[in-house]
Amino acid sequence: MLAEVAAGRPGMETLALDVSDAESIATAAADVLARHPELNVLVNNAGVIIDDDPTAPVDDDELMRVVSTNLLGPIRMVSAFIAQLRSVPDAAIVNITSMLGYAPLARSSLYSATKAAMHSYTLSLRYRSGDAGPEVIEIAPPYTQTALQAVNLTDPRAMPLEEFIAETLAAIEAGEPEAYVARARERRDAQRVDDIGITTWFNDLMRSPRLS
């Protein structure tokens, strides 16, 4: 898909990368750094979500797929590029986490847990990067109309993608290290006051019938 997008855009290149595979990351990083020694931005966007039930035995293959894509993957990507990003000016790492890292969706407990862990890791990464950089930006989207799950594209509770992009870019331009849209900031702030209460409120809301 991305290769097709790139085909119509001179200057845009693509390469194969499976972030759940440490070897794939090492190969892709070596390739990118050889072709682009000036590289100064890493965006950790890849993610997968599944439905699971923490009150039943876990499927180990599914557990590993979610954890290796959403948590090990971005950590390994940072590891592969951190020396580069510390050596060039105006460098940035952008980690895409989720509001589900704040108020978990109980029917996607594994996904929610990986995003909570990535939020924590991102705080440490920003603190340790300090003024020397790279700048560390976290984007924690709310439920948004993307292809993450088929239901996202049809559910009116999901934020329209164009609105999400416009608000997020405005937050980045404003210099927000946590470049969250307004509805995400509200949930984050409520969660800090009452995490059990907001988890109940959110999961009751999401229990209404799925629309597709």
Ligand X SMILES: NC(=O)c1ccc[n+]([C@@H]2O[C@H](COP(=O)([O-])OP(=O)(O)OC[C@H]3O[C@@H](n4cnc5c(N)ncnc54)[C@H](OP(=O)(O)O)[C@@H]3O)[C@@H](O)[C@H]2O)c1
191 interacts with ligand X by CB under 6 A: no
Residue 144 found at the interface with ligand X (CB under 6 A): yes
Q: Which of 13, 31, 45, 200 binds ligand X (CB under 6 A)?
A: 45
Q: Residue 187 CB: number of other CB atoms within 10 A?
A: 20
Under the criterion CB under 6 A, does residue 148 sit at the interface with ligand X? yes
Q: Which residues contact 70 (CB under 8 A, 6 or more apart)?
A: 46, 47, 48, 111, 114, 115, 118
Q: Please select the residue that binds ligand X; options are 108, 109, 112, 152, rule is CB under 6 A.
A: 152
Question: Quick one: 91 or 181, whose CB is closer to ligand X?
Answer: 181
Give the N- to C-terminal CA distance of the chain in Å, as an integer. Answer: 24
Question: Exposed, middle or buried, 136 (CB in 10 Å: 0-12/13-18/19+)?
Answer: buried
The verdict on 46 binding ligand X (CB under 6 A) reads yes
- The residues annotated as belonging to the active site are 111
Q: Which residues bind ligand X (CB under 6 A)?
A: 17-20, 45-48, 69, 96, 98, 141, 143-144, 146-148, 152
